[in-house]
Amino acid sequence: MPVEWAGSGPELLITIDRDGVPGLRAQLEDQLRAAIRGGRLAGDERLPSSRELARALGLSRGLVQDCYAQLRAEGYLTSRPGSATRVAAGAASHQDPAPAPRAPGRPRHAVADFRHGVPDLRLAPREDWAWAIREVCRTAPNTAFDYGDPLGDPRLRAVLAAYLRRVRATDATGDQVVVCTGMAQALGLALRALAADGIGTLAFEDPGAPASTIAQASAAGMAAEPVPVDEDGLDVAALARGGARAVLVTPAHQWPTGVVLAGHRRLELIAWARRHDGVILEDDYDAEFRYDRDPVGSLQGLAPDRVVSLGTVSKSLAPALRLGWLIAPDRLLDAVTRGKQVADRGSPGLDQLALATLIESGRYDRHLRRVRAEYAARREALVAALATHAPALRVTGLAAGFHAVLHLPPGADEAELVEEAARRGVGLYGMAGMCRTTPAQPRLVLGFGDTPRRAIEAGIAAVADLLRCRWSETAAVPRA
């Protein structure tokens, strides 16, 4: 059994496998070296003492001392007599600026960035993925290197079907699972299949679907029409008043309001689909991340004939893997199949087998438990910081996923607040930009997926006065 050490924070995970190859010292050395090179251990960062690390990993202290000595000799670590071992400044071969400038022109937020939509890349399961690919390369039959089934490797499809049945209560066999290049492709294939089936309009949640979703609908030749969301999720009565025969929803954890689609709404939505010969697209984007209880089961399990379920490992493992899937009812499966065949003749085969291997080996679940604990702690830190610094404001959204919603007082100016926070080095994001119709109420969407706990606390503290007093005073004054 591997033994793990999560360091002082979540940033560094060392996994020692006693039965593994290479030996224990090489495992430790390799992982420390990789962490320094990759920037997960920053220059001048203090390492635990050899005694502490040895105890945490169940290794001998001498082994850890040897390892530290080796890495000092190689220039990765430094230490002065009597003081702690530290990462050598400039040892990272790839500087990994924090926060990373993901999009050109994005301003940096020195104190904290509450952006959303990305998990913490420092938690990406580097070792697990390398291990899984190695296993596949060692053991897969030669045919695994050929063009595969365009719908996906049969083994992964069966593994996913079983996994989703277990954790999401879906109702599908592997035959209905199509492996895609991320959820983006899954949604695109589903939309083209709907268009081919004669469905011309996609309804989407408001606030909700980003511009890229509307662009995908348009590329499939479909119009897109917003439907309001309230505290029970999508307003099904409003949907029924529109003309759409397909709707894209996020039932487990509505993006971005964070509500769950209520039970009665689920039944209404399915009844709507049956009545109008409609199709429900279920975006199950962060369903593995519920912190207070088991997540609400998939809508697909209630109406497998009416629901296309879309999933991804972008949040659970890493977006770069580009592994997603859809589960389609039989009536759409042929069109999806043709679409996938024409699009790219199938997704990469070894990556698919690696994901199957991760799930089957239990490493996927273990990784999820590890990162889920960290994200839960971040959410608690956020809620606690808001209770301290903005006790009058309401926080909504399930204890789930990677974001919460902060309700500002009526009359507060989202845009001005966001601007002032940015001047203080804090990245905040208003809800208004995600709404098609002017929202009744100013709100902030606070992402915590890529925001370490200390930054969460520091960030909220830095804007505390903005959240506390400013708006209640000006609330009644109309702005010019």
Q: Applying CB under 8 A, which residues contact a copy of itself?
A: 21-22, 26, 30, 33-34, 37-40, 93-96, 100, 102, 118, 121-122, 124, 126-127, 129-130, 133-134, 136-148, 180-182, 184-185, 188, 212, 215-216, 219, 314, 318-323, 341-351
Closer to a copy of itself by CB, 127 or 284: give it.
Answer: 127
Pairing state between β 223-230 and 201-206: parallel
Closer to a copy of itself by CB, 177 or 180: give it.
Answer: 180
Closer to a copy of itself by CB, 257 or 352: give it.
Answer: 352
CB of residue 92 to a copy of itself, shortest distance in Å: 8
CB of residue 349 to a copy of itself, shortest distance in Å: 3
Closer to a copy of itself by CB, 126 or 436: give it.
Answer: 126
How is residue 296 written in tokens?
């609400």
CB of residue 148 to a copy of itself, shortest distance in Å: 6
Distance CA 315, CA 291 (A): 15
Paired residues of 223 in beta bridges: 201
Distance CA 403, CA 41 (A): 26
Contact 142, 159 (CB under 8 A): no
Closer to a copy of itself by CB, 182 or 278: give it.
Answer: 182
CB of residue 15 to a copy of itself, shortest distance in Å: 12
Closer to a copy of itself by CB, 34 or 162: give it.
Answer: 34
CB of residue 257 to a copy of itself, shortest distance in Å: 23
Closest CA to 135 of 416, 324, 356: 356
Number of Cβ within 10 Å of residue 105's Cβ equals 5
DSSP assignment of 44-83: TPBPPPHHHHHHHHT--HHHHHHHHHHHHHTTSEE--TTS
Buried b (16+ CB within 10 A) or exposed e, 399-408: bbbbbbbbeb
CB of residue 406 to a copy of itself, shortest distance in Å: 25
Closer to a copy of itself by CB, 260 or 455: give it.
Answer: 455
Paired residues of 8 in beta bridges: none
Contact 228, 203 (CB under 8 A): no
CB of residue 45 to a copy of itself, shortest distance in Å: 15
Distance CA 272, CA 404 (A): 30
